[in-house]
């Protein structure tokens, strides 16, 4: 169904070639725990279709990105983030080298849980 890049780490996770600690999956989206968490809760949301970053998105991706953003609060609560406003969570999308992006497959970081955090 979707495009995949054979050299991409997250495409390999999506295809099950590299294991991940899965949080959620549907036909379009995979969510798994970050291997080096910054916070008590830290997971990554990725589109199953390979796209390098937010620099490549267009109007055709609006529904997918909207769906992922709407999913984030629900999964944050399910994964242990405390309720707003005392709790909450952080949503982060690093984009490009100067944006701090290390893996070139678009991913949404969701972080939360009691402070202090390792980073951020």
Q: What are the residues binding ligand AMP (CB under 6 A)?
A: 9, 18, 20, 32, 34-36, 44, 94, 100-103
State yes or no: is 107 an active-site residue: yes
Query: Minimal distance in Å, beta carbon 82 to ligand AMP?
Result: 22
Query: Minimal distance in Å, beta carbon 52 to ligand AMP?
Result: 11
- Of 7 and 36, nearer to ligand AMP (C-beta) is 36
Residue nearest to Zn ion (CB): 8
Q: Please choose which of Zn ion, ligand AMP, none residue 28 contacts, taking the beta carbon within 5 to 8 angstroms, the exact cut-off set by kind.
A: none
From CA 31, how far away is CA 33, in angstroms rounded?
A: 7
- Of 2 and 88, nearer to Zn ion (C-beta) is 2
Question: Of 42, 50, 105, 107, which residue is the catalytic one?
Answer: 107
Supply the Cα-derived Rg of the chain in whole angstroms. Answer: 14
Query: Minimal distance in Å, beta carbon 22 to ligand AMP?
Result: 10
């Amino acid at each position: 169904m979707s495009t995949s890049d054979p050299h991409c780490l997250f495409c390999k996770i999506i295809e099950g070639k590299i294991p991940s600690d899965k949080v959620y999956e549907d036909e379009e989206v995979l969510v798994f725990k970050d291997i080096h968490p910054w916070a008590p809760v830290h997971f990554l949301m990725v589109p199953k279709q390979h796209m390098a970053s937010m620099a490549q998105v267009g109007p055709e991706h609006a529904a997918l990105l909207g769906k992922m953003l709407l999913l984030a609060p629900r999964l944050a609560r399910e994964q242990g983030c405390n309720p707003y406003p005392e709790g909450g969570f952080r949503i982060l999308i690093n984009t490009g080298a100067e944006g701090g992006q290390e893996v070139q497959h678009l991913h949404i970081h969701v972080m939360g849980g009691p402070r202090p955090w390792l980073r951020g």
